[in-house]
Structure 1
Amino acid sequence: MSKELKEVQGIIFKRQKFHEADLLAKIITKNSGIITMIARGALKPKSKLGASLLNFSYGTYVIVSSGQGLSNLRTYKNVKQFDGIFNDLTKNAYASFILDLVDHAFVEYQDLGKYYELTSLALTKINDGEDAEMITQTIQMQLLAAYGVEPELRHCVICGKETGDFDYSIVKGGIICSNHLYTDTTRLHLQPKETAVLRTIGLIPFSRLGTIKINQDTKKATRRAIDRIYQETIDLNLKTKKFLDELNLFT
């Protein structure tokens, strides 16, 4: 496959040393999916490439790519950084977890569609100090579709009822109304307001990301519910999630 010189706009989220003075960096891009770039000589003292590849840097990167495998980084333009995330351990942990979730939902070079804009907006809001946990929970609920596990949140999966009190059924793949709670003894046994939060954050438009305000008890309950949904339907084992647990943010 022939290689071409192209510009990609995106966000750096992983990097590691490669050979003596090279760097490998992963970037989530607006139009070309997730790409692993090699920056040759980036660790040499006189190289300017290394500074553009710090985690949570974003901008335009000029690469040579064949659309598969490693791409070669040539140069960069207008690179900035989410300083608020880079310099804050808690924000860093949430942002790293979100990017890890997106990374595992797609193969390299696969079009991310709406999820690039959703991820970029989430990082911007976390960087600016908005509620990182509710933003993360929202991303988790909306990413389920990318994993092929899109729950039915608009109406009862059994009768189609759209209003009233609901619980969440992992087995049935969505919400069940109060008339059909008996059909699943393994349902999450959430309070109606907790299920309402899951519905809201799972369906909320991007423009309202981060606007949901709930109390700590409800937030903990929805966090546990989302954890269980992921454990029983996707079963990821992410180091970034474990780190969040260690920070007592997801416990």
Structure 2
Amino acid sequence: MTRELKEVQGIIFKRQKYKEADLLAKIMTKENGIITLVVKGALRPKSKLGAATLNFSYGDYVIYTSGHGLSNLRTYKEVRQFDGLYNDLTKNAYASFILDLIDHAFVEYQPLGRYYDLADFALKKINDGVDAEMITQIVQMQLLSAYGVEPQLRQCVICGRQKGIFDYSIKLGGVICSDHFRTENSRLHLKPKETAILRTIGLLPIQRLGNISINEETKKATRKAIDRIYRQTIDLNLKTKKFLDELKFF
């Protein structure tokens, strides 16, 4: 297949040693999807390519690609870094989990579209010090559709009611209204406020999200609910999630 030089804009999020002085670096892009780059000489002490492909670097990269398999990084233009993510262990852990979650939802070179915007939004917010736990929960809820399990959050999955008190049913794949609480034994028994938060963060466009202020008890409950939704519908086993969970015990 023909290879061509192409300029892509994206976020570097994974690196591993490839050959003696080379690296493999993953870059997340909007139109060209997730690409694995061979970065020649990146492990040499004064390598500019190595410095431009540190985790959480973002900018314009010129690559040599055929649109499948490994591509080669040739040079870069404007490259900056989310320093807050790189230098803070907790922020780093949340951001790594978010990018890992998106990585597993797509095959290489599959355009990410709005999910790239979601990743970009999340990294900027966490880098700037916005509540990393809530930003992560927003990403998790909005990313379910990329895994093919988009929940029904707009209305009761049984009767279509849109207003009132709701709970969440993993078995039914969405929210149910209080009219069915007695008969539906698969519901999570969330408090009305907790279900309302799941609906809001799952439906609201990211550009309309303002300041997030939710108490720790509610945040913990919504996190447990989202973890259950993922565990019972997608069953991922991500090292980044395990590390993030371990970090919360310290």
Q: TM tier, shorter chain?
A: over 0.9
Taking structure 1 as the reference length, what is the TM-score of the superposition? 0.97
Partner of 1:60: 60
- Report percent identity of matched pairs: 74
Calculate the aligned-residue CA RMSD, in Å.
1.2
SS in 1 for 2:116: helix
How far the C-alpha of 1:46 sits from its partner, in A, is: 4.1
- Any idea what the Cα deviations from partners look like across 1:66-103, whole Å, max 9, x if unmatched? 00000000000111000011000010010000000000
**How do residues 152-191 of structure 1 correspond to structure 2 at under 5 angstroms?**
152-191=152-191
Distance (whole Å) between structure 1 residues aligned to residue 111 and residue 180 of structure 2: 39
How far the C-alpha of 1:43 sits from its partner, in A, is: 1.5
SS in 1 for 2:14: strand
Asked if the contact 1:95/1:126 (under 8 Å) is kept, the reply is yes
SS in 2 for 1:144: helix
Partner of 1:14: 14
Partner of 1:36: 36
Structure 1 gaps, min length 5: none
1:99 aligns with 2:99: yes
- Any idea what the Cα deviations from partners look like across 1:169-212, whole Å, max 9, x if unmatched? 00000000000123321211101110000000000111134633
Distance (whole Å) between structure 1 residues aligned to residue 6 and residue 65 of structure 2: 7
Distance (whole Å) between structure 1 residues aligned to residue 53 and residue 9 of structure 2: 13
Partner of 1:204: 204
SS in 1 for 2:48: coil
1:102 maps to a residue whose letter is I
Distance (whole Å) between structure 1 residues aligned to residue 94 and residue 114 of structure 2: 20
1:35 maps to a residue whose letter is I
2:177 maps to a residue whose letter is C
SS in 2 for 1:225: helix
Partner of 2:147: 147
- Any idea what the Cα deviations from partners look like across 1:19-44, whole Å, max 9, x if unmatched? 10110000001210000000112222
Distance (whole Å) between structure 1 residues aligned to residue 182 and residue 69 of structure 2: 50
1:234 maps to a residue whose letter is I
- Any idea what the Cα deviations from partners look like across 1:105-136, whole Å, max 9, x if unmatched? 00000010101011101100100001111000
How far the C-alpha of 1:8 sits from its partner, in A, is: 0.5
Asked if the contact 1:131/1:210 (under 8 Å) is kept, the reply is no
2:31 maps to a residue whose letter is N
SS in 2 for 1:10: strand
Asked if the contact 1:21/1:44 (under 8 Å) is kept, the reply is yes
Distance (whole Å) between structure 2 residues aligned to residue 132 and residue 119 of structure 1: 13
1:39 maps to a residue whose letter is V
Partner of 1:215: 215
Distance (whole Å) between structure 2 residues aligned to residue 18 and residue 128 of structure 1: 33
Distance (whole Å) between structure 2 residues aligned to residue 223 and residue 209 of structure 1: 18
CA change 1:46–1:134 in 2 (3 A) is closer
SS in 2 for 1:159: coil
Distance (whole Å) between structure 2 residues aligned to residue 121 and residue 20 of structure 1: 36
CA change 1:46–1:194 in 2 (3 A) is closer
Structure 2 gaps, min length 5: none
1:43 maps to a residue whose letter is L
SS in 2 for 1:146: helix
Distance (whole Å) between structure 1 residues aligned to residue 194 and residue 48 of structure 2: 49
Partner of 1:90: 90
Q: Give the total of aligned pairs.
A: 250
Asked if the contact 1:168/1:188 (under 8 Å) is kept, the reply is yes
Asked if the contact 1:94/1:132 (under 8 Å) is kept, the reply is yes
CA change 1:21–1:210 in 2 (3 A) is farther
CA change 1:24–1:209 in 2 (3 A) is farther
CA change 1:28–1:114 in 2 (3 A) is same
CA change 1:150–1:214 in 2 (3 A) is same
